[in-house]
Structure 1
């Protein structure tokens, strides 16, 4: 069965579109193709589906959710985010760090392995704090 990512879904109108992973064009997803008890899809959500050729092109049938639906734990994580004023300071420090790295790169020097790994860890941590 093909898989893909939801590009758009409007629960009020009862349809959306998914971009298939195998490169086929956008596939229409009607609400009738959703699993029982599912009222909508989120943009970026991964699904598995079968395809039938409809009057207006490819149409998804028998959708199966591959990504879990957002949970209360996810909501707590967002609620537990660092305050924006704290993130401003962190982002400014990351900018200074990257400026120093770029100066070395301009002179043709990469950071040594240990320093490069530390920079990667900092960037990964900041990305985690910014992620929804």
Structure 2
């Protein structure tokens, strides 16, 4: 009994919002990648290496049972600031939020609320990278 080779390739394009993309197979074949074939916990983007099954779809080959072989490094994670540099910023932000809490309890919003919100977003982006 022979061994059946499972196709592999790289994601050529994938739009999570639209729910589809395409794989450039190592064999040169372009395969449609429906979002339903991608595991819910997988992050798939251009260049991600995949292993997949193939079925004939209405418009040609379609990927099934996708498995991520090689995750791409996160650009955001590579660019985030070192934790030791983020620590004092978080401490300062805690003080600002503590003062804000007092203002809000008195029934007033801060004049520079947009500045505080921007700082919170920046810290959140660093933590989420």
- TM-score, scaled to structure 2: 0.53
1:54 is matched with which residue? 57
SS in 1 for 2:45: coil
Q: Which runs of 5+ in 2 are unaligned?
A: 1-5, 82-129
Alignment of 1:25-64 (within 5 A): 26-38=30-42, 41-64=44-67
Taking the aligned partners of 1:43 and 1:54, their CA distance within structure 2 comes to: 22
* 1:76, distance to aligned residue in structure 2 (A): 4.0
CA distance in 1, matches of 2:35, 2:76: 25
Deviation at 1:35, TM superposition (A): 1.3
Q: Which among 17, 22, 25 is matched to residue 17 of structure 1? A: 22
1:47 CA displacement: 0.5
Flag structure 1 segments of 5+ consecutive residues without an equivalent: 81-132
Q: Which residue of 2 aligns with 1:128?
A: none
Could you say which structure has the larger radius of gyration? 2
Which residue number corresponds to residue 13 of structure 2?
8
Secondary structure at the counterpart of residue 70 of structure 2: coil
Deviation sequence 1:86-129 (CA, Å, 0-9, x none): xxxxxxxxxxxxxxxxxxxxxxxxxxxxxxxxxxxxxxxxxxxx
What is the DSSP-based 3-state SS (H/G/I as helix, E as strand, rest coil) of the residue aligned with 2:46?
A: coil
- Sort the Cα spacing of 1:77 and 1:15 in 2 relative to 1 into closer, same or farther, 3 A: same
Give how far 1:23 is off. 1.8
C-alpha distance after superposition, 1:50-72 (max 9, x if no partner)? 0000110000000000112545x
Structure 2 residue aligned with 1:66, among 69, 79, 92? Answer: 69
SS across alignment from 1:77: helix
